[in-house]
Structure 1
Amino acid sequence: MGLKGALILTAVAGVVAVVAGLLIVIKSPGEYGLDSGGRDQLQLAAQPSGMPQQALFKAAPTVPPPLPALVPAPPLMPSTPKRIVVKRLGISAPIESIGLAKDGTIEVPPVEKANLAGWYREMSTPGEAGPAIILGHKDTRTTGAVFSKLWEIRNGDTIEVKRQDGLTAVFTVGGVEQASKKTFPTQRVYGNQTNAQLHLITCGGTYDRTIGHYKDNIIVYATMTSSYRG
């Protein structure tokens, strides 16, 4: 079967959590981009489709995530994330742990809780070595949501994740990608990494009224460059 062959090619040997994430994403990449269940259906005349004043990251799916022009900080011990803050965009939102739905796809935060982000608990915790994945809605049927301004983020911006252990992991953005949900860069987003990375995912691009979903994902790649207590 073609899907099983693709899963094998994208799996990362020896990392069980990453393999699990790759298997599920490649099976239903749209679900990783908040693509089902009537979500992301704000009826607007137009949606932003690009990143003005900054070139989007573009590369083959197997190319590693882009890194900021700073030395990565040493990884931290695992700790559950509690809140995500992006000061320049005015984002300050609680984080909920999410796993897999009964159909084998990744859960997303409840659409009625617009200002809630979801951390995929089968991957690294923010600050731990490897990619930590946080998803959030772009909008709902009636209002903007937690990641409505994510497409405005810039290389060099900082993202703070407050953790249960009292530490705040600070990540610096190294690149932003707009990818079609049909060709989701699975390996780049979920593949194993030696440093502590944070990958944010939301919807973006053109809103297709015929299917009730956005066609693309906005993916932010950031690397931990410092941490502090507080």
Structure 2
Amino acid sequence: MAGQYPYGGPPPADKGSTALRTVLIGAAIAGVVTVVAGMLIVLQSPEEYGMDRDALPVAVQTQASGQPQQALFQAPPDQPPPLPQITPAPAMLPSTPVRILVKRLGINAPIKSVGLAKDGTIEVPPSDNPNLAGWYRNMSTPGEAGPAVLLGHKDTRTRSAVFSRLGELKNGDTIEVRRQDKTTAVFTVGGVEQASKKTFPTERVYGSRENAQLHLITCGGAYDRTIGHYNDNIIVYATMTSSYRS
């Protein structure tokens, strides 16, 4: 479900400025202090704060099958996204995305263009259609050089949503995005990250890249009932490795 800033802020106007780096460092330090203090409170009253399977450390989480969850990508926020062990395909001309398909997760969903809300944050896809992904139109289109960003809900108040199983993707899995120009861009997953919303890796997700990349974002981690949203984001990083005519 969506929170106040469910998918991080928009890309910075000047990614290389000293002021931005200072703000990011300060935010990271403040986030660490907040997390430590919060954990001390939660450990004293685990039931009150919903200490369930989702709140466990990643290393000991298991999937529904009982198998250990894959190791998640971890790096400082200013590091580039992980790349798959396969040669990237040449970027294509821009074309609006219309549908995303992830066979491994059973995803076959239409894509809606989204922009910025009045408060300057990125819009979220409408929650009344759980099988709907949002493409952030101020970034690249899927298949074009640079990062294309698709957003989707994990769940709604009554059911799971389009990206509910996003964290199950593994390195080497493929994602297809059909485009308005009748081509389909095929992306290979390079890594999956679980990041706190308090220290969202803005540069890694929204920063400029030479290759055609696809970044999928949804909510994850523990659900905070007091404020009504999840504490983390699940981010999938993928690179275009082929394309074909639809």
Answer yes or no: same fold by TM over 0.5. yes
Q: Is the 8 A contact 1:47 1:207 kept in 2?
A: no
State whether structure 2 residue 93 is matched by structure 1 residue 66: no
Kindly report which structure 2 residues correspond to 1:55-134, keeping only aligned pairs within 5 A, or say none.
55-134=71-150
Which digits, 9 at most, give the CA deviation of each residue in 1:189-225, with x for residues without a partner?
0000000000000000001111111000000000000
Q: CA-atom RMSD, angstroms?
A: 2.1
% identical aligned pairs: 73
Distance (whole Å) between structure 2 residues aligned to residue 94 and residue 202 of structure 1 = 16
Kindly report which structure 2 residues correspond to 1:78-227, keeping only aligned pairs within 5 A, or say none.
78-227=94-243
Distance (whole Å) between structure 2 residues aligned to residue 201 and residue 149 of structure 1 = 11
Q: Is the 8 A contact 1:47 1:205 kept in 2?
A: no
Distance (whole Å) between structure 1 residues aligned to residue 126 and residue 16 of structure 2 = 30
Among 7, 11, 18, the alignment partner of 2:15 is 11
Q: Is the 8 A contact 1:12 1:192 kept in 2?
A: no
Distance (whole Å) between structure 1 residues aligned to residue 16 and residue 160 of structure 2 = 36
Which consecutive unaligned segments of at least 5 residues does structure 1 have?
A: 1-6, 14-25, 27-43
Distance (whole Å) between structure 2 residues aligned to residue 119 and residue 111 of structure 1 = 15
Match of 2:9 in 1: none
Which digits, 9 at most, give the CA deviation of each residue in 1:28-47, with x for residues without a partner?
xxxxxxxxxxxxxxxx9956
Return the letter of the residue paired with 1:188.
R
Distance (whole Å) between structure 1 residues aligned to residue 232 and residue 51 of structure 2 = 17
Distance (whole Å) between structure 1 residues aligned to residue 119 and residue 234 of structure 2 = 24
Structure 2 counterpart SS, 1:70: coil
What's the CA shift for 1:11? Answer: 1.3
User: Whose radius of gyration is greater, 1 or 2?
Assistant: 2
Distance (whole Å) between structure 2 residues aligned to residue 92 and residue 46 of structure 1 = 30
Return the letter of the residue paired with 2:240.
M
Which digits, 9 at most, give the CA deviation of each residue in 1:85-144, with x for residues without a partner?
000000000000000112211111110110000000000000000000000000000000
Which digits, 9 at most, give the CA deviation of each residue in 1:130-167, with x for residues without a partner?
00000000000000000001011111000000000000
Distance (whole Å) between structure 2 residues aligned to residue 161 and residue 134 of structure 1 = 10
Distance (whole Å) between structure 2 residues aligned to residue 109 and residue 76 of structure 1 = 26
Residues paired across the two proteins, number: 195
Return the letter of the residue paired with 2:134.
G
Return the letter of the residue paired with 1:149.
R
4+ residue runs over 4 A deviation:
44-47
What's the CA shift for 1:12? Answer: 5.6
Which consecutive unaligned segments of at least 5 residues does structure 2 have?
A: 1-11, 18-26, 28-49, 62-67
